[in-house]
Amino acid sequence: MLLEARDVTKAFGSFKAVDQASVTLEQGDILGLIGPNGAGKSTFFNCLTGDLASTCGKVLFEGHDITALPPEARAQLGLARTFQVPQTFEGLTVLENVMIGAFLRHHQRAEAEKKALMVLERVGMAHRLRHYPSQLSGGQQQRVAVARALAGKPSILLADEPTGNLDSRNGEAVMELLSDLHREGATICMVTHDPRFAKHAQREVHLFDGKVVAEEELHKLMQDAQV
């Protein structure tokens, strides 16, 4: 088992944003966390990444509880994430932004640059390596964010709404990139509320009101909520 969430609950006061949710991620999976807005997907995802401590339950990476680990330690273990809004450093070039991912795994500068160049080629952005994020489109910025995550050669890539701020054409291009990476052996967990992109997942976990539910139950709950 590569990643496992056991009965994770995240409460904010009396409100349970995530309620005893469990999921497993095996080597080579491409897993989709699916559900409507407000279902608790991003909160659950942030618990999976270790960025948000659960109220109760555990998140285990290769059997080790990651909840109390700082970001650098999680990166060392092999967890990398991207955000719905690409997190880039405006004062750094595309190449320098991507090198940060390798630095998190304690690579020296020459090795970090070599790895950054390799992954930029892999995501189709090697031709923009001297540009700055403000000179890129939203889709290109998301590709750079994926490249930075890959530069540390993570065991798992965790992608939060990777198409959330993109138009349909750029969104499909980013999803095709993730699918290509999966075919090359990457293990991916992604959050999405868009059924067009959910189809890229090999396996789906459906959430509604913070609970993991069957797909058929999700559709019924969504229909009932619209009545």
More reliable by pLDDT, 227 or 8: 8
| 47 has pLDDT over 90 | yes
Q: How many CB atoms lie within 10 A of CB 22?
A: 13
The pLDDT score that the predictor gives to residue 221 is: 66
The pLDDT score that the predictor gives to residue 106 is: 64
pLDDT tens digits along 122-171? 899 999 999 999 999 999 999 999 999 888 888 899 999 888 888 888 88
The pLDDT score that the predictor gives to residue 84 is: 86
Alpha helices, DSSP H only, in the chain? 41-49, 71-77, 94-103, 109-122, 138-151, 168-183, 195-198, 215-226
Query: Quick one: tokens of 194?
Result: 């868009």
| 54 has pLDDT over 50 | yes
Let me know how many helices (H) and strands (E) the chain has, helices first.
Answer: 8, 10
The rounded mean pLDDT for the chain is 88
Q: Rounded mean pLDDT of 79-93?
A: 90
Q: Rounded mean pLDDT of 71-85?
A: 85
